[in-house]
Amino acid sequence: MQKKTLNNNVEMPVIMMGTSICDQKGSFRTLHRKMADMLSYAVQHGVIGIDTARDYSNEAMLGNIFKDLIHSHVVKREDLFITTKVGNGQQRVGNMDEQISISLKSLNIDYVDLWLLHWPLPDYYIDNWNQLCKIYKSGKVRAIGIANCRERHIVELEKAGVEMMPHVIQVEYHPFRTIPKMRDMCNERNIQLEAYSSNCLMLPFVRDNPTLINIAEKYCKSVTQVIMRWHVQQGVIPIFSSMNPTHIQSNIDVFDFELSEKDMDAIFALNIDYKFHPESLNCPGF
């Protein structure tokens, strides 16, 4: 898997795989088996970036799987890039050093590659961000950032005079929500932009979009692959989620073609600022 270098010289995979999908109905044993099979397949086929969060309630499950993969020599710990996040409930408690210890123990690892505040929770996130900066310097995490923020939150961090700015910002980003102001702000500050819901969950209006279909046919690729290539080519790191081996392979099979400038612009032109995850449902007072 190709990598990008963050502003602190840490290398991050250019494509990440999300794990919130294991927060689905079913017995723990069934979910564990499915997730173990998925991660084993993904890692053996080049996926080394794994994204999770405390609020996905799967850190312990993933920790057992990571332990098995590493002990069985399927992958080395240093070859994985593991992201987790601090949820709103943990932010209200406020002891970030305790929170990272809990995540490290659950994940069966000695350090996290990227640790994010899951939301810029009003009245809490600046103080907690300052704590993340201290923990980053301790070596327990290799990079820090914030998910689900807006431009104003970056400005507020700057006004607060924080010790360091985020290495990564993770937001909902796809062809139908291109947030140009946020993208420009991150580029100006050398902050890596990371996209969740990177293919807009392949909703019908995405899957059946004539522009995307025509571009996909032009390159003999799927619509999903065109979207993933669009992300990678502009320097944004997309997160995909799947438990289907064929889909996993398809999501990372995007390095053998290049979209023309005209096609890139045509995809950018699809922007309608569509947001699948409204902040009002996830972050009170946002």
Closest to 110 measured CA to CA, from 76, 84, 139, 86: 139
Catalytic-labelled residue, pool 56, 124, 136, 196: 56
Query: How many angstroms separate the CA atoms of 164 and 158, rounded?
Result: 9
Give the SS3 label for residue 141. Answer: strand
Q: How many helices (H) and strands (E) does the chain have?
A: 13, 10
Query: How many angstroms separate the CA atoms of 52 and 20, rounded?
Result: 7
**Orientation of helix 210-219 relative to helix 223-234, angle to 10°:** 90
Q: Where are the beta strands (DSSP E) in the chain?
A: 3-5, 11-13, 16-18, 49-51, 81-86, 114-117, 144-147, 168-172, 192-196, 237-240
Query: How many angstroms separate the CA atoms of 244 and 139, rounded?
Result: 35
Closest to 106 measured CA to CA, from 139, 58, 142, 40: 58
- Indicate if 56 belongs to the active site: yes
- Per the CB < 8 A criterion, the answer to whether 47 and 254 are in contact is no
Query: How many angstroms separate the CA atoms of 186 and 167, rounded?
Result: 10
- Per the CB < 8 A criterion, the answer to whether 185 and 154 are in contact is yes
- The catalytic residue positions are 56
